[in-house]
Amino acid sequence: MTAPTPSQAFRTPPIARQLQTVAFGCVGSAAFLWLGIPGGAISGAMVAVTLMTVFGLAHRIEGNLRIAAMIASGVTIGAAVNPETLRGVVTYPVSLLIMSVSIAATTLAGMLFLMFAAGWSKSTAFLASSPGAFAYILAVSPSVGGDVPRIVVVQMFRVLVLMAVLPILVVEFGPPIVSGPPPILDPYWMVGVMLAFGAVGGLLMERFKLAGGIFFGAMMVSAVFHGTGLAPGRVPAPVALFGQILIGCWTGSRFVGFDWTRLPGILGAAVGSIGVGLATSAAFAFLASTLLGVSFGAAMVGFAPGALEAMTMLAFALGIDALYVGVHHLARFLLLNIAMPVIVQTWLMPKKP
């Protein structure tokens, strides 16, 4: 399997083709929801679009449609902010420390598996196992002797596996998700105001190169509206569903341009590495849950080595603390982007004679 070429990866497909991809995602979402699969709206869309990439029928979700997905998702998740979730912020420093150790342990476990069970080189195994900084990893891989196709398979399939497996883990091993009374819904005019302000805030953060800038800008705007009482409740279901489906489609569309014929020779090692990493993350999530009283579901999704926007939206879809999850994934992104260049330079880069 090879990574998409730059022209494939960054060219924005015509909107009609993107909407065709969204239509596939809607079918997958409807099927998963009908089957009662946890987080079915987002994971069903992702699985359907990923399958369509195999046949060349899906196109990348980019440009204005990607921006719409991030804004709608951010506003939806910001609506989960309330005094109870804000009180939980006091647990974040210790939880973030545990997560930092979890990142190191997860990377080490995956790397050792790939080196000793699959026979991969140190550089390839380490870069494939790192749970983030994907753009940097692709850029630096050739200079340290990394096998780019193998690295891409593990990095991309990690997101796919997590989106499919995490909902099952959270439901099966976490406490029951209890449905409360029907929430108060924000009026649509208020949703429109938050979407407009969220777009401004998100685009500003994007301009300053903040990780997931559009998504987090919109989430922060919505959090302010709900935390101050300007907005009374939750975002109406159609808006939330729209965001979940688009995030699922966007995640699945990242597989556009892959050479699927190379998958069988790499898949076994990739699945094994992802499984080892997921088990390690689960152990640290259980530790955080036990020590801090955080729900296992929130800690599991917060510690999972997946895409920032997708994991945060998945947390919302599962009814767990999306603010906690979002903060942890943002911290993971920042930590890895600071640490990776140092590690590569001191440990992987060939020494000059």
The per-residue pLDDT for range 79-123, each reduced to its tens digit, is 877 666 666 667 788 999 999 999 999 999 999 999 999 999 999
- Return the pLDDT at 8: 45
What residue type is assigned to position 302 of the chain? G
Q: Is 277 within a domain?
A: yes
Q: CATH no. for residue 264?
A: 1.20.1530
Total domains, the chain: 1
User: Cβ neighbours of residue 333 under 8 Å, at least 6 residues apart?
Assistant: 132, 133, 211, 212, 308
- Return the pLDDT at 100: 92
The residue with tokens 């603010």 is: 323
| Range in 21-25, 281-285, 315-319 with the lowest mean pLDDT | 315-319
Averaged pLDDT, 146-171: 82
User: In a 3-state reduction of DSSP, which class is residue 234?
Assistant: strand
The Cα 162–Cα 281 span in angstroms is: 11
Whole-structure pTM value: 0.75
The Cα 125–Cα 104 span in angstroms is: 14
Q: Is 252 within a domain?
A: yes
Q: Is 228 within a domain?
A: yes
Q: CB-based burial of residue 112 (10 Å sphere; 0-12 exposed, 13-18 middle, 19+ buried)?
A: middle
The Cα 247–Cα 41 span in angstroms is: 10
Q: Which tokens hold the place of 298?
A: 């929130």
Q: Is 353 within a domain?
A: no
Q: Is 1 within a domain?
A: no
Q: Is 118 within a domain?
A: yes
- Return the pLDDT at 9: 44
Q: Which tokens hold the place of 270?
A: 């990739």
Q: Which residue has the higher pLDDT, 182 or 39?
A: 39
Q: Say if residues 103 and 277 touch (Cβ distance below 8 Å).
A: no
Provide the angle, in degrees to the nearest 10, between the axes of the packed helices 40-54 and 308-317.
Answer: 140
Residue 146 predicted with pLDDT over 50 = yes
Q: Look at residues 55, 48, 73, 59 and name the one whose alpha carbon lies nearest to residue 163.
A: 48
The residue range of the domain holding 306 is 6-175+183-348
pLDDT in tens, 207-219: 876 666 788 888 8
Largest CA distance in the chain: 69
Q: Is 199 within a domain?
A: yes
Q: Look at residues 221, 200, 177 and name the one whose alpha carbon lies nearest to residue 79.
A: 221
Q: Say if residues 202 and 218 touch (Cβ distance below 8 Å).
A: yes
Confidence class for position 7, pLDDT limits 50, 70, 90? very low
